Chains A and B, each alone.
Chain A
Amino acid sequence: MSSEKGRLPSCFADPFDSGSQLSSCCCGQIHSHDEPGAEPGATASAPGPTDSEGLLVRLVESSVTRALFGGKELPRRAFMRAMGAGAALGLVASVFPLEAAKALAMEKIGPLEKKNVKVGFIPITCGTPIIMAHPLGFYAKYGITEPEIRKASGWAMIRDWAASGQTDYTHMLAPMPIAMSLGLGSSRIPFVVPAVENINGQAITLRLDHKGVKEARDMKGFRFAVPFDYSMHNLLLRYFLAEGGVNPDTDVQIRVLPPPEMVANLKAGNLDGYLSPDPFNQRAVYEKVGFIFKLTKDLWPGHPCCTFAVSEKVAREAPNTFSAIVRAIIDATIFSANPANRKEIAKAIAPRNYLNQPVEVLEQVLTGVFPDGLGNTLSVPERIDFDPFPWNSMAVWILTQLKRWGYLKEEIDYRKVAEQVFLAGDCAAVMREMGETPPEDSYSSHVIMGKEFNPAEAEAYLRSFPINRIS
């Protein structure tokens, strides 16, 4: 902690005061420059010289403004001068759930606006924290005593539920809230992601008679299925094929199918393979129709898959509920990350009310000890893992791939979109409160199939792929 007596660290400086300096930072997540700041975490809980709650509020506001202006000082100051601090705060609040973010940062959650929160989920292991938080009591622990955990059969259905307000909080594939916020594949509704659910946990499954397939090149002419256009499954499968020299748009067919139908179609011979969420990869092994060709963790270790998403409007209108449920989900996600808890979780989510799957299959997925369908039993503990931190850099990667494959045509500010949708700072604050150590910076470079992605060079990265659909 580097704060000197009598002088506030800059993160406590009022960001709506055009005279204050924001450049040195102590919150550590949302700023762009990598100067090692003060010890993060300590500031949030340490009482400042003035009223600690007021300071906290200002801290959050400052992070948000910084997020909006991308850490650039000049436009922010000009903006504040032009608008006046109060008006600016109002304007910022109108595009960002500021109240919700403030509520999130409070250690004590205010009275909940509603206790019967409706949460939509898809019955797959990716949604484990959202689902098991119900039978294992995580929602109740944070005061949400009457959650209604509603099962949806497909991503389009869950998107429509979320868009029409039939559910408040929703289990979504990581690219979905980004796509919805940009108005891709639906009407434009701003969504935010306060927490990621799972990392890894997907696989490319091939039909048993493709045992001889060794690499992407052998897959030309294949018919594949993915669960949704705006899914990591689609983006990773395309990436994998393209890295192997196979054009996913011309050399193979990729169709959207609900996962149970993938298994049935694999059996019927209508599909050669799919990249799908579990348990449907393991289910193909269980049904003796397919084998696990490649775990997605071997394409991109630690890639995000599913997220916990909420419309900006719902978060803004019920900030205390938002704060409580996000804590419940992050707590549940941290609990799920512990391998020792996995068997208990498998049992809790197997019943008909949740996944409606054999416990055996779920255990194989969650513990990572599984038959691969080729006669081997593998032990890959990190086959699926859980980590709530919504890396802004991963959101940027998703945006580059959406552009690469022609889903996103307009020019966008990668970081702005990434930071508006993926609430890295808020998640980090809650994680810290729970004794975790979230990353210092919400941007990092990632290595996907041996190729490095630098979020600062997103456009150059996008242009570096020989196989693409950029018009």
Chain B
Amino acid sequence: MKWRTVLLSALIGCLALFVWQMATMGTELPAPWAVLKVSREFLSDPFYDAGPNDKGIGILVAYSMTRLAAGFACASVCAVLLGVLLGRQPVLFAALNPYIQILRAISPIAWMPLLLYSVKDSGLTAFMVVFMASLWPTLANTAFGVANIKKDYLNVAAILQMSPAKTLLSVILPAAGPTIVAGLKISMGSAWVAIIPAEALLGSLGLGYFIWNEWNNLSLTSVVFAILVIGMVGVGIDFLFSKLSKRLAYTD
């Protein structure tokens, strides 16, 4: 059963490659073979550093990931704390929820000009774009998860006379954990989607920079390579979150 899935998956992949090959034949669009060649070139020396505007793909991925991690971590801490507060204060949650829904609907990239103009630093702006992208899903999910924690768990915490901090760490966060992680996963997805255009628009080193630098040379093959890298990194991040959510899942 399992290897049949694998086989089917491989078959679909081959078919996609075949369609890609056929679609690009006779055009100037990059064919799979050309992308493979370029990929080998980029991946053969992923960590070279030839100046401030030319670094290996590994270093660029690291730049993007660092930016992503910093913005995401800060946003997640804020979102979880605020989410817990809202989850425990139903009236406040109900009052703020419409605003959260509006803010959530705004593309993080839309914030960029405003952020750039106010903070006047492109690195900080990229960080804030990631922050904005990561904030809302986690906030909404945390508030929802905390609001729906079984009353019994909180009663037990009260009977055990746990301090608010201890209650947060030992009861509220683990109880709402799966919902929070689901929110974090959505947040990470939206942050990863936002960071590429943010880097391209701000000129900050990273995968987004790689794309416009190659686009500047009209090198579509390299752009396709970057697209593949972005996809793979995204899958990797998703995989980590699936692991995390498995660890935190529980059945009543």
Task: Decide if A and B touch, CB cutoff 8 A.
Answer: yes
Given A153-B203, A157-B201, A157-B202, is A353 in contact with B216 using a C-beta cutoff of 8 Å?
A: no
B53 & A352 in contact (Cβ 8 Å cutoff):
yes
B203 & A150 in contact (Cβ 8 Å cutoff):
yes
Instruction: Name the segment of A1-9, A158-166, A233-241, A290-298 touching the other chain.
Output: A158-166
- Which of B50, B200, B218 is close to A263, meaning CB atoms less than 8 Å apart? B218
- Which of B53, B200, B202, B215 is close to A151, meaning CB atoms less than 8 Å apart? B53
A356 & B217 in contact (Cβ 8 Å cutoff):
yes
By a CB distance below 8 angstroms, the chain B residues around A165 are 120
B53 & A166 in contact (Cβ 8 Å cutoff):
no
- Which of B52, B200, B215, B218 is close to A149, meaning CB atoms less than 8 Å apart? B52
- List CB contacts (< 8 Å) of A145-159 with chain B: 148-153, 157
B213 & A352 in contact (Cβ 8 Å cutoff):
yes
By a CB distance below 8 angstroms, the chain A residues around B214 are 356
Nearest-neighbour CB distance to chain A for B113, whole angstroms, equals: 9
Nearest-neighbour CB distance to chain A for B39, whole angstroms, equals: 16
Question: Is A264's beta carbon under 8 Å from chain B?
Answer: yes
Nearest-neighbour CB distance to chain A for B9, whole angstroms, equals: 34
- List CB contacts (< 8 Å) of B174-193 with chain A: none
B203 & A352 in contact (Cβ 8 Å cutoff):
no
By a CB distance below 8 angstroms, the chain B residues around A260 are 215-218
Given A160-B116, A161-B122, A164-B120, is A150 in contact with B216 using a C-beta cutoff of 8 Å?
A: no
By a CB distance below 8 angstroms, the chain B residues around A107 are none
B203 & A356 in contact (Cβ 8 Å cutoff):
no
By a CB distance below 8 angstroms, the chain A residues around B213 are 151, 153, 352, 356
Question: Is A357's beta carbon under 8 Å from chain B?
Answer: yes
Question: Is A90's beta carbon under 8 Å from chain B?
Answer: no
- List CB contacts (< 8 Å) of B22-62 with chain A: 50-54
B50 & A152 in contact (Cβ 8 Å cutoff):
no
Count B interface residues, CB 8 Å. 20
Instruction: Give bound CA distance, A166 to B202, whole Å.
Output: 11
Q: How many A-B residue pairs have CB under 8 A?
A: 67
Nearest-neighbour CB distance to chain A for B29, whole angstroms, equals: 12
- List CB contacts (< 8 Å) of B51-103 with chain A: 51-54
Nearest-neighbour CB distance to chain B for A363, whole angstroms, equals: 16
B218 & A287 in contact (Cβ 8 Å cutoff):
yes
By a CB distance below 8 angstroms, the chain B residues around A163 are 120
Nearest-neighbour CB distance to chain B for A136, whole angstroms, equals: 13
Instruction: Give bound CA distance, A157 to B116, whole Å.
Output: 10
Question: Is A354's beta carbon under 8 Å from chain B?
Answer: yes
Question: Is B241's beta carbon under 8 Å from chain A?
Answer: no
By a CB distance below 8 angstroms, the chain B residues around A153 are 200-201, 203, 212-213, 216
Given A166-B122, A260-B218, A263-B218, is A353 in contact with B52 using a C-beta cutoff of 8 Å?
A: yes
- List CB contacts (< 8 Å) of A124-183 with chain B: 134, 148-153, 157, 160-161, 163-166
A151 & B217 in contact (Cβ 8 Å cutoff):
no
By a CB distance below 8 angstroms, the chain B residues around A327 are none
Nearest-neighbour CB distance to chain A for B203, whole angstroms, equals: 5
Q: Which residue on chain B has the smallest CB distance to residue A356? A: B217
Instruction: Give bound CA distance, A353 to B210, whole Å.
Output: 11
Instruction: Give bound CA distance, A134 to B218, whole Å.
Output: 24
Nearest-neighbour CB distance to chain B for A272, whole angstroms, equals: 19
B53 & A161 in contact (Cβ 8 Å cutoff):
no
Question: Is A351's beta carbon under 8 Å from chain B?
Answer: yes
Instruction: Give bound CA distance, A123 to B216, whole Å.
Output: 8
Instruction: Give bound CA distance, A148 to B120, whole Å.
Output: 19
A264 & B218 in contact (Cβ 8 Å cutoff):
yes
Q: Which residue on chain B has the smallest CB distance to residue A150? A: B52
Instruction: Give bound CA distance, A352 to B122, whole Å.
Output: 21
CB-defined interface of B202-225 with A at 8 Å, one 1/0 digit per residue?
A: 110000000011111110000000
Instruction: Give bound CA distance, A152 to B216, whole Å.
Output: 11
- List CB contacts (< 8 Å) of A30-48 with chain B: none
Instruction: Give bound CA distance, A166 to B217, whole Å.
Output: 25
Nearest-neighbour CB distance to chain B for A117, whole angstroms, equals: 12
Residue of B50, B214, B217 with most partner-chain A CB within 10 A: B217
B52 & A357 in contact (Cβ 8 Å cutoff):
no
By a CB distance below 8 angstroms, the chain A residues around B53 are 149-151, 352-354
Question: Is A207's beta carbon under 8 Å from chain B?
Answer: no
Instruction: Give bound CA distance, A115 to B217, whole Å.
Output: 31
B203 & A161 in contact (Cβ 8 Å cutoff):
yes
Nearest-neighbour CB distance to chain A for B119, whole angstroms, equals: 8
Instruction: Give bound CA distance, A214 to B217, whole Å.
Output: 30
B50 & A352 in contact (Cβ 8 Å cutoff):
yes
A353 & B215 in contact (Cβ 8 Å cutoff):
no
By a CB distance below 8 angstroms, the chain B residues around A354 are 53
By a CB distance below 8 angstroms, the chain B residues around A404 are none
Question: Is A283's beta carbon under 8 Å from chain B?
Answer: yes
Given A351-B50, A354-B53, is A164 in contact with B203 using a C-beta cutoff of 8 Å?
A: no
By a CB distance below 8 angstroms, the chain B residues around A152 are 203
- Which of B52, B120, B121, B216 is close to A356, meaning CB atoms less than 8 Å apart? B216
Given A160-B122, A351-B50, A353-B53, is A151 in contact with B203 using a C-beta cutoff of 8 Å?
A: yes
Residue of B53, B120, B217 with most partner-chain A CB within 10 A: B53
Residue of A163, A351, A353, A357 with most partner-chain B CB within 10 A: A353
By a CB distance below 8 angstroms, the chain A residues around B116 are 160, 164
Instruction: Give bound CA distance, A151 to B218, whole Å.
Output: 16
Residues on A close to B: CB < 8 A? 123, 134, 148-153, 157, 160-161, 163-166, 259-260, 263-264, 283, 287, 351-354, 356-358
Given contacts A157-B122, A157-B202, A356-B213, 7 further A-B contacts (CB under 8 A): A153-B213, A260-B215, A351-B50, A352-B217, A353-B51, A353-B52, A356-B54
Task: Show 11 A/B contacts (Cβ-Cβ < 8 Å), sorted by A.
Answer: A134-B51, A149-B51, A149-B52, A149-B53, A151-B213, A157-B201, A157-B202, A160-B116, A166-B121, A260-B217, A352-B53
What 10 pairs between A and B have smallest CB-CB spacing? A164-B120, A353-B54, A353-B51, A151-B53, A352-B54, A356-B217, A353-B53, A153-B212, A260-B216, A152-B203
